[in-house]
Amino acid sequence: MGILRFVIRAFFSAPRHPPVPRDRPRSPAERQRQKPPPRRVHYEAAAVTVIERARTSHDHAVLKGKCHVIDGDTIVIGKVRIRIAGIDAPELDHPWGQKSKWALVGMCRGQVITAHIRDELSYGRVVASCHLPDGRDLAAELVKLGLALDWPKFSGGAYRHLEPPDARRKLWRANARQKGRMPPA
């Protein structure tokens, strides 16, 4: 009997509160209180635009500006997401990933970074060699600290001599990914 009453009430009784119309006009105060939708930055579109500009110009594209660090091998200048060329830093959830990111933040804080764009994309990011105002290469500095590995497939072994002796053992996940034993993140 209890179930029958529940079914009858659920399907045949009138709602207790009248529904609020969704398309009613809002007052200016209500409109002002509403938050605008979150702004989405389309990094891939910006990356393709930069690559196209580099292909059409006679000299290579160069981006300059203060950067925002995403992880140990990715930064953002303006609206362009940049993958630092030739190295592989651990992901944020891997061992040493946070330390790698914060070392890069420390190097880049308050500095104007110069990125020399290459004619390739990596997961929707522009690939570039990035330099500090004093000319130091960000990739070389991270490899020297033992917080990133040289990726010979992309760098031609340019940073291998800078790796500390225990770097490949310490950053074992990045090393395994380079050898194809682990899928990319």
The whole-angstrom separation of Cα 157 and Cα 151 is 7
H/E run at residue 152: helix 152-155
| 146-184 residue pLDDT tens | 999 998 888 888 999 999 999 888 888 888 887 777 766
Average pLDDT over the chain, rounded to whole?
Answer: 80
What is the 3 state secondary structure string of 62-112? EEEECEEEEECCEEEECCEEEEECCEECCCCCCCCHHHHHHHHHHHHCCCC
pLDDT in tens, 16-33: 655 555 565 666 666 666
Per-residue pLDDT tens digits for 99-151: 999 999 999 999 999 999 988 877 788 899 999 999 999 999 999 999 999 98
C-alpha span between 138 and 116 (Å, rounded): 12
- Among the four given CATH numbers 3.40.50.300, 2.40.50.90, 1.10.510.10, 2.60.120.40, the one describing domain 43-178: 2.40.50.90
Whether the predicted model's global pTM rises above the 0.85 cut = no
